[in-house]
Structure 1
């Protein structure tokens, strides 16, 4: 379906300092594009440097303020903290954090080693906590902020082909609830954004075959496929002042899969 009307513009996002993890491709790249189009001052980190640099050039070429890209392996907590420090020094205190980065590589229980388990927790969960920890003081001093932790419907449906990933994404919800309660008195909102099967380039290349097409038709209430832009538009709302009384919640964008 093609919509003929423009989507929402959020005045409160103009000039807001935004920090996005995993912004070089997929959902993350859509987040970077959408926040840049809102006039936000965007910093994003990613381990993949080349596509990230191309994204910066693309956005600048459209006349938007170029986002700041900082190469970062999020498994390195000190490097993540340093990136957040640079973002705040460059664009002002971070008042919206989007913990988007993750990896849903398939695996079977019998093949999981302790090292692989720890890596999956680091890639999909650990950095979200420490990014929230790092931005909390600056959000508090700024009078509030919004933290958006990215989960997945995989833990709700109990997908059987990536148990470590499913575990991490379930833990994101518990973490979100705990942080929302702790940070709330400081006017820091913490929510979970829960995508369904989103048609990123990676997803379509690896898993969207005839069986996948049938699964979408069978499971979703809506016929349209979920696109990265659909996730980004929900993130805009959750980062903006329009959602000022929304916290400790899950916002599912899955076309009615669950």
Structure 2
């Protein structure tokens, strides 16, 4: 990562990341830790989370993992409080956790709706609620919500996920107004089709490769680290006067 920017304002900064054990989340953890931030992250995948934390700690970085189901609000807020005890109040929150499981709208129930909203939207609000008092006290902070281009391009078979991700930017705009006078910035990072291992294993086939070639303006593929580097900028003081915005990291996908 030596060819990319270092942000002095992130050194020693307490950071909380959800869904940090794999995919984009893992890259976020690695990139913030490499900046010298004090990283606390949660994930439901205990083994992967513990292994990542152990690897980075052995490398001399400050990383703490707590196994947590982010749909359990009390447990998640308790985990955030634990990170604050260890690292100090979070000054950066990255609401990364989500699950883009395909679903058929005709077969959904009230319970499955609630579950999908909980894993893709609800936890972000209650994480903000947990970290905001510390940020208000400090007079600064950055909250990064993770959106998706899926609702912009009307991707098939994920309508509840798309509803949650569209609402995420509404949450960003609303909380940017609520918290802005306290020096807290709130923005949305919007990934395109990111080449995580899960996407490669489950969704990327020959038709998908063809779609990327035809629809993405830039050649090549978008990877988790591309999202992580945008998150670093939005977390650092370099973006201190940017709030209530959404930043697309999608290779220039044609939005129709």
TM-score (norm 2): 0.97
> Secondary structure of the residue that 1:147 maps to in structure 2?
strand
Shift of 1:56: 1.4
1:23 pairs with 2:20: yes
How big is each residue's C-alpha offset from its partner over 1:191-246, in whole Å with a ceiling of 9 and x where there is no partner? 00000000000000001110010011011001110000000000000000000001
Q: Which residue of 2 aligns with 1:87?
A: 83
How big is each residue's C-alpha offset from its partner over 1:119-162, in whole Å with a ceiling of 9 and x where there is no partner? 00000000000000111100000111000000000011111210
Which consecutive segments of 4 or more residues in structure 1 shift more than 6 A? Answer: none
CA distance in 1 between partners of 2:120 and 2:199 (Å)? 17
Q: Which residue of 2 aligns with 1:118?
A: 114
CA distance in 2 between partners of 1:204 and 1:112 (Å)? 26
Q: How does 1:1-258 map to 2 (within 5 A)?
A: 6-61=3-58, 63-257=59-253, 258=255
CA distance in 2 between partners of 1:78 and 1:172 (Å)? 21
TM-score (norm 1): 0.97
Shift of 1:71: 0.7
> Secondary structure of the residue that 1:8 maps to in structure 2?
coil
> Secondary structure of the residue that 1:148 maps to in structure 2?
strand
Q: What's the C-alpha RMSD, in Å, of the aligned pairs?
A: 1.1
Are the aligned partners of 2:37 and 2:62 in contact in 1 as well (CA < 8 Å)? no
How big is each residue's C-alpha offset from its partner over 1:92-145, in whole Å with a ceiling of 9 and x where there is no partner? 110000000000000111111111110000000000000001111000001110
CA distance in 2 between partners of 1:221 and 1:84 (Å)? 39
> Secondary structure of the residue that 1:102 maps to in structure 2?
coil
Are the aligned partners of 1:39 and 1:64 in contact in 2 as well (CA < 8 Å)? no
5+ long unaligned stretches in structure 2: none
Are the aligned partners of 1:57 and 1:66 in contact in 2 as well (CA < 8 Å)? no
Are the aligned partners of 2:24 and 2:224 in contact in 1 as well (CA < 8 Å)? yes
> Secondary structure of the residue that 2:145 maps to in structure 1?
strand
Are the aligned partners of 1:147 and 1:190 in contact in 2 as well (CA < 8 Å)? yes
